[in-house]
């Protein structure tokens, strides 16, 4: 199979319990240094817990991600730097690279794989066996990358996906989505009471997007208000 081929047989799996990947463990040698690095990326700090003895765990979540990373003291026996091929999905590879550079992170240039999955090298495919400078010439999803490492050498890849293959993507279950819709409706009520006529679904979409990115209800309401004003020209006059 070449890199121009993807398996997509629209196969279904038996119904069962949802399995949502939520945590990836990153092995590090210096916990405080790692905390400073991942914090400098603009990732959300969820927890920093220790038992004042021989255990400490820190959790960060990348913006827009449903999966978090943890590291710490006595969290894993894996060798520091041994986590490789950690993918971060972005919709604009150039903009994502620029943001990392702005945070002071040493990153590769944008590249695409020019060798195919079975290229004759010993370099693991996940890291790009034959890196060709620049984005994929045809600007196809799944084909353009940027790489960087944390201070311990744990390896990350940004992968550009503008359009997903059928059936791919992050979802939340029906109950959680119903709860989010109900919350969105409640918060939209205060905006609707003072705003000019508008399409409610625009506000809903912005609010829900912000909440799924980890923003608080108050932050999501503010983000939705800014979206309505900046994009939809629906401006609420000051009281």
Q: What is the per-residue pLDDT across 156-214, written as a single tens digit (0 to 9) for each?
A: 999 999 887 766 665 667 888 899 999 999 999 999 999 999 999 999 999 998 887 77
Neighbouring CB atoms inside 10 A of 26's CB total 24
Q: Give the model's pLDDT for residue 132.
A: 87
Q: Taking 80 as the threshold, does the pLDDT of residue 56 lie above it?
A: yes
Q: What span, in angstroms and rounded, lies between the C-alpha atoms of 199 and 98?
A: 34
List the end-to-end C-alpha distance of the chain, in Å, as a whole number.
62
**Regarding beta strands 86-90 and 111-113, do their DSSP bridges make them parallel or antiparallel, or are they unpaired?**
unpaired
Q: Which residue has the higher pLDDT, 35 or 126?
A: 35
- Which of these ranges, 32-41, 124-133, 210-219, has the smallest mean pLDDT? 124-133
Identify the pLDDT of residue 42. Answer: 92
Judge residue 198's burial from the number of C-beta atoms within 10 Å of its C-beta, 0-12 exposed, 13-18 middle, 19 or more buried. Answer: middle
pLDDT at residue 8 in the model: 47
pLDDT of residue 164: 74
φ/ψ of residue 158, rounded to 5: -90, 130
Tokens of 184: 């969105």
- pLDDT at position 165 is 72
Q: How far apart are CA 28 and CA 114, in angstroms?
A: 32
Sequence-separated contacts (24+) of 199-202 with Cβ below 8 Å: 199/232, 202/227, 202/228, 202/231, 202/232, 202/234
Task: Give the pLDDT confidence of 131-165 residue by residue, as tens digits.
Answer: 889 999 998 888 899 999 999 999 999 999 988 77
> What pLDDT is recorded for position 83?
95
pLDDT in tens, 62-118: 988 889 999 999 999 999 999 998 999 999 999 999 999 999 999 999 998 776 544
Confidence of residue 6 (pLDDT cuts 50, 70, 90): very low
| Sequential DSSP letters for the chain | --TT------------------EEE---S-HHHHHHHHHHTT-EEEEEEE-SSS-EEEEEE-TT-S-EEEEEESS--SPTT----EEEEES-HHHHHHHHHHTT--BPPPEEE-S-TT-SSSS-GGG-SSEEESS-TT--TT-EEEEEE-TT--EEEEEE-SSPPTT-S----HHHHHHHHHHHHHHHHHHHTTSPS--HHHHHHHHHHHHHTT--HHHHHHHHHHHHHHTS---PPP-
Assess contact for 81 and 154: CB atoms under 8 A.
Answer: yes
């Amino acid at each position: 199979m070449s890199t121009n081929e993807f398996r997509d047989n629209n196969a279904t799996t038996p119904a069962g319990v949802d399995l949502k990947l939520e945590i990836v463990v990153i092995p590090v040698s210096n916990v405080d240094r790692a905390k400073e690095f991942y914090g400098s990326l603009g990732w959300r700090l969820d927890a920093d817990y220790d038992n004042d003895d021989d255990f400490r765990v820190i959790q960060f979540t990348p913006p827009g991600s449903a999966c978090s990373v943890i590291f710490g003291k006595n969290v894993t026996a894996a060798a520091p730097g041994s986590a490789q091929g950690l993918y971060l999905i972005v919709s604009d590879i150039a903009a994502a690279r620029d943001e990392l550079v702005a945070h002071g992170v040493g990153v590769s240039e944008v590249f695409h794989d020019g060798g195919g999955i079975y290229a004759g090298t010993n370099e693991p495919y996940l890291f790009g066996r034959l890196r060709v400078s620049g984005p994929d010439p045809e600007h196809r999803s799944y084909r353009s990358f940027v790489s960087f490492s944390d201070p311990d050498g744990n390896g990350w890849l940004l992968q550009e996906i503008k359009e997903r293959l059928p059936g791919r993507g992050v979802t939340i279950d029906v109950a959680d989505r119903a709860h989010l819709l109900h919350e969105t409706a409640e918060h939209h009520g205060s905006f609707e009471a003072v705003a000019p006529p508008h399409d409610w679904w625009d506000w809903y979409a912005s609010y829900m997007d912000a909440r799924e990115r980890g923003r608080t209800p108050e932050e999501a309401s503010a983000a939705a208000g800014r979206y309505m004003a900046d994009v939809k020209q629906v401006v609420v006059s000051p009281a």
